[in-house]
Amino acid sequence: MRVRIVHDTIYRYDRPVRALVQALRLTPRDHDGQHVLRWRIEPSADGRLTPREDSLGNIVHMFSADHALDEITMRVSGEVETADTSGILQGSVERVPDPFYLRETELTAADEAMRAFAVSASGDMSADPLGCLHRLLESIHRQTAFDTDTTHVATTAREAFAQRSGVCQDLTHVFIACARHLGIPARYVSGYFFRADGVVEQDAGHAWAEAKVPNLGWVGFDAANGISTGEAHVRVAIGLDYLGAAPIRGTRQGGGSENMDVKLRVERGRPPRQMQLQVQA
């Protein structure tokens, strides 16, 4: 499927901001199920934009603004060709060994209740780990209410689990925390999701988890939708948790309070129009 994305992140400041610096994890890479046809990042302000690769293999652009500004829009747009691989990830950029993805972080630490839940929801890991992870995914999806008002960017997996509600970020953190407790390396993926119901305008990007299934490889688990990842998913960046994969991390000097707004369109891309040869009338 060809997915077309236009993603604007708009920051408005009370007072002019000096020295704005942002780290942008907004650029997808190719793997077997995904081919980037075209992609660009366009800041609305002048500045220096330099690409790098981080230690996990994500493409990170560092942006630093040249002048003070009251407002800035970071626009990313492009088209990606995706294919369904039953959630199995192949051909991706891997820079660090699997045990790294067992590392616990503040956002993904499990507590006693989550550990117990992970074990009971998944069943016996040794026999059929993939099946176990699917059962875990289903349980989390079933018993967690999708609610944009109960959590925020810094909500931990423990908090989200305790209140049984949250957004894709929170469900993903819960899944990751449980998987790691079961000894399965797991990581956070930020990206985009094409909605089959025809809704094009979205409020935010998407997030899901990947878990390293023994003898199979990395597999995508979308806890918010309760499914394996497929051709509707456009994979952008990975991390141990949201912080490691966050699309935009920024710092600034001055500016007073800040207001952030996201405008995102994810739609089916049209194949290139047939070029008509012009003929003389």
Pick 210 or 222: Cβ nearer another protein: 210
Q: Which residues contact 259 (CB under 8 A, 6 or more apart)?
A: 11, 12, 13
Nearer to another protein, 24 or 80 (CB): 24
Going 111 to 99 to 168 to 23, the CA torsion angle's sign is positive
Instruction: Compute the radius of gyration of the chain from its Cα atoms.
Output: 20
Asked if 96 and 83 touch (Cβ cutoff 8 Å), the reply is no
Please identify, among the stretches 37-45, 122-130, 212-220, 249-257, the one whose residues bind another protein according to the rule CB under 8 A.
249-257
Q: From the list 3, 5, 17, 23, which residue makes contact with another protein (rule: CB under 8 A)?
A: 23
Shortest Cβ 114–another protein spacing (Å): 14
Cα distance between residue 189 and residue 101, in whole Å: 12
DSSP string, 156-182: -HHHHHHHTEE-HHHHHHHHHHHHHHT
Paired tokens of 85: 């691989």
Answer for which of 78, 129, 205, 250 binds another protein (CB under 8 A) is 250
Contact call for residues 141 and 223 (beta carbons, < 8 A) = yes
**Taking CB under 8 A as the rule, does residue 209 contact another protein?**
no
**Is residue 260 part of the contact set for another protein (CB under 8 A)?**
no
Sole window of 46-54, 169-177, 198-206, 267-275 interacting with another protein (rule: CB under 8 A): 46-54
Q: Is 264 in the site for another protein (CB under 8 A)?
A: no
Which residue type sits at 87?
G
Q: Contacting another protein (CB under 8 A), which of 52, 67, 164, 268?
A: 52
Given 35, 243, 262, 263, the residue binding another protein (CB under 8 A): 243
Is residue 120 close enough to count as binding another protein by CB under 8 A?
A: no
> How many beta carbons lie within 10 A of that of residue 154, not counting itself?
10
**Binding-site ranges for another protein (CB under 8 A):** 19, 21-23, 48, 52, 54-56, 62, 64, 95-97, 99-100, 102-105, 243, 249-251
